[in-house]
Amino acid sequence: MLGAIVGDVIGAPYEWNNIKWTDFDLFTPLSTFTDDTILTLATANSILNDISYESSYRRLGETHPGRGYGGRFQQWLRNPQMGPYNSWGNGSAMRVSPVGWAYDTETKVMAEARRSAEVTHDHPEGVKGAQATALAVFMARSGASMSDIRKEMSTTFGYDMDRSLEEIRPGYEFDVSCQGTVPEAMIAFLESNDFEDAIRKAVSLGGDSDTLTCITGSVAHAFYGEIPTEIAAQVKDLLSRDLVVIMNRFCEKFVNKP
């Protein structure tokens, strides 16, 4: 889960200033956390405290306004009576990684990923993006190989995983859809050599950089098992105290367990 937050923070400065290369400063004066971090931790908070995803998303979203929420999601936050709005946006995928850590069967991970998505993103592509990301995290932390994860993304979810970053990068543009973000984020992970390399490759695609890199980071953390200490420390220093508390509690219970 920390990998998702690291990806968000590192990708944030490049969301509206896309780059197409991997040699860049991981942290800049513009490095900050966005809605991706807040809602990832809202998912974790829901699991930790056994409260509904809807309640947790609303609570943390209202506590941290102005962090780059999508237009429809902002409407949803402002209107407690508003239900799901048939979204296929990548928000369902960027916030779901705690599900892949907290549950210990594929069946449960898939079911919980659906539940976390459907409070807002009840379009089939929104649900699929969340399920694909959560399952990739679960598989990665459970010892699956990259080839196994690639195959699952293709056969179960129908994503085109036969492309390379070199093929994707030149024409890839800003895309807020799950179907235009999740497979690209997975390919960045699948071509990586370590956690930092995965993050750099995700940012180098351009597009919706904070969300794409958040998704890549979530899987890379689960797969590689470690995030460089200095990177993790810089990211934690940028978070507000309430978010750090949720993150630490979740990691102690699910990520760093024996």
pLDDT tens across 179-205, in order? 999 999 999 999 999 999 999 999 999
pLDDT at 96 over 60: yes
Q: What is the dihedral of CA 240, 71, 110, 218, to 10 degrees?
A: -40
> What count of Cα atoms within 13 Å lies in the side-chain half-sphere of residue 181?
29
Mean pLDDT of the region 104-119 = 98
pLDDT of residue 256: 81
Q: List domains and CATH numbers for the chain.
A: 2-255 (1.10.4080.10)
Q: How confident is the model at residue 117 (pLDDT cuts 50, 70, 90)?
A: very high
Q: What is the pLDDT of residue 57?
A: 98
Q: pLDDT tens digits for 14-59?
A: 999 999 999 999 999 999 999 999 999 999 999 999 999 999 999 9
Instruction: Provide the angle, in degrees to the nearest 10, between the axes of the packed helices 124-141 and 106-118.
Output: 140
Using N-to-C axis directions, what is the helix angle for 182-190 and 124-141, rounded to 10°?
Answer: 20
Q: What is the DSSP letter of 177?
A: B
| Euclidean distance between CA atoms 56 and 66, whole angstroms | 17
Kindly state the tokens that stand for 165.
């970053």
pLDDT exceeds 90 at position 257: no
Query: Is the pLDDT assigned to residue 258 strictly greater than 90?
Result: no
Give the model's confidence band at 255: pLDDT under 50 very low, under 70 low, under 90 confident, else very high.
confident
Residue 35 has phi, psi (to 5 degrees) of: -60, -25
* Bridge partners, residue 177, by sequence: 89
Return the closest-CA partner of residue 101 out of 247, 206, 239: 247
pLDDT of the residue at 59: 96
CA dihedral 91, 94, 100, 105 (to 10 degrees): 30
Residue 131 pLDDT > 90, yes or no? yes
pTM of the predicted model over 0.95: yes
Q: What is the pLDDT of residue 118?
A: 98
